[in-house]
Amino acid sequence: MNIHRNRRDFLKKTSAAAIATMAMGAPISGLLSSCQRPKAMPTTADSVILLYMAGGMAHTETFDPKRYTPFRKGMESQEVLSTFPSVPTALDGIHFSEGLENIGQIIDRGTLIRSYVAADLGHILHTRHQYHWHTCYEPPQSVLVPHMGSWVSRELGPLNPVIPAFINIGQRFTVGEGEELKAFHSAGFLGSEYGPFLIPDPTGGLESVRPPVGMSTKRFEGRNQLYERLISEGAMGEFGSDYQKESLKRSMEQAYILLNSPEAKAFDLSQEPKEKYDIYNTGKFGLGCLMAKRLVEQGARFISVTTEYEPFFGWDTHENGHTRLVDMKKMIDAPVAQLIKDLDESGRLDRTMIILASEFSRDMLTEGRPDLKVKDQVEVPDIIEDLKNYGMHRHFTDGCSMLMFGGGIKRGHVYGKTADERPCKTIENPIKIDSIHQTMYHALGIDPEKHYEIEKRPFYTTPDGLGKAELDLLT
CATH number for the domain harbouring residue 434:
3.40.720.10
CA distance 128 to 134: 10
Provide CB contacts within 8 A for 100, sequence distance 6+.
62, 63, 87, 329, 332, 333
pLDDT tens digits along 438-469: 999 999 999 999 999 998 899 999 999 999 99
Provide CB contacts within 8 A for 230, sequence distance 6+.
11, 14
| The pLDDT value given to residue 1 | 40
Residue 216, domain member (yes or no): no
Look at the chain and report how many structural domains it folds into: 1
DSSP letters for 65-106: ---B----TTEEGGG-SBSS-EEE-SSTT-EEETT-HHHHTT
Residue 31, domain member (yes or no): no
* pTM for the predicted model, two decimal places: 0.87
Residue 5 burial (C-beta neighbours within 10 Å; 0-12, 13-18, 19+): exposed
Beta bridge partners of 389: none
Query: In this structure, are residues 295 and 160 in contact, taking their beta carbons and an 8 Å threshold?
Result: no
Residue 217, domain member (yes or no): no
| The pLDDT value given to residue 262 | 80
CA distances from 271 to 202, 209, 267, 278, 291 (A): 13, 16, 9, 12, 11
- Cα 67 versus chain centre, distance: 30
What backbone torsions phi and psi does residue 124 show, to the nearest 5 degrees? -80, 120
CA distance 363 to 385: 18
| The pLDDT value given to residue 402 | 98
| The pLDDT value given to residue 204 | 83
CA distance 393 to 407: 34
Residue 239, domain member (yes or no): no
CA distances from 3 to 6, 7, 15, 216 (A): 5, 6, 18, 20
Provide CB contacts within 8 A for 219, sequence distance 6+.
211
Local structure of 421: helix, strand or coil: coil
Residue 464, domain member (yes or no): yes
Residue 18, domain member (yes or no): no
Residue 2, domain member (yes or no): no
Integer Rg of the chain from CA = 23
Q: In a structure prediction context, what are the per-residue pLDDT tens digits for the chain, which is 475 residues long?
A: 443 444 444 334 334 433 344 444 444 433 433 344 444 458 999 999 999 999 999 999 999 999 999 999 999 999 999 999 999 999 999 999 999 999 999 999 999 999 999 999 999 999 999 999 999 999 999 899 999 999 999 999 999 999 999 999 999 999 888 989 999 999 999 988 899 999 999 988 767 666 666 666 666 666 556 656 665 666 545 555 565 556 556 656 666 677 778 888 899 999 999 999 999 999 999 999 999 999 999 999 999 999 999 999 999 999 999 999 999 999 999 999 999 999 999 999 999 999 999 999 999 999 999 999 999 999 999 999 999 999 999 999 999 999 999 999 999 999 999 999 999 999 999 999 999 999 999 999 999 999 999 988 999 999 999 999 999 999 9
Looking only at the bridges linking them, the beta strands covering 302-306 and 47-52 are parallel
- Domain, as residue range, for 80: 47-203+269-473
| The pLDDT value given to residue 463 | 96
Residue 270 burial (C-beta neighbours within 10 Å; 0-12, 13-18, 19+): exposed
CA distance 236 to 245: 7
| The pLDDT value given to residue 222 | 64
What is the end-to-end Cα distance of the chain in Å, rounded?
A: 61
Residue 30, domain member (yes or no): no
| The pLDDT value given to residue 20 | 41
What backbone torsions phi and psi does residue 329 show, to the nearest 5 degrees? -65, -40
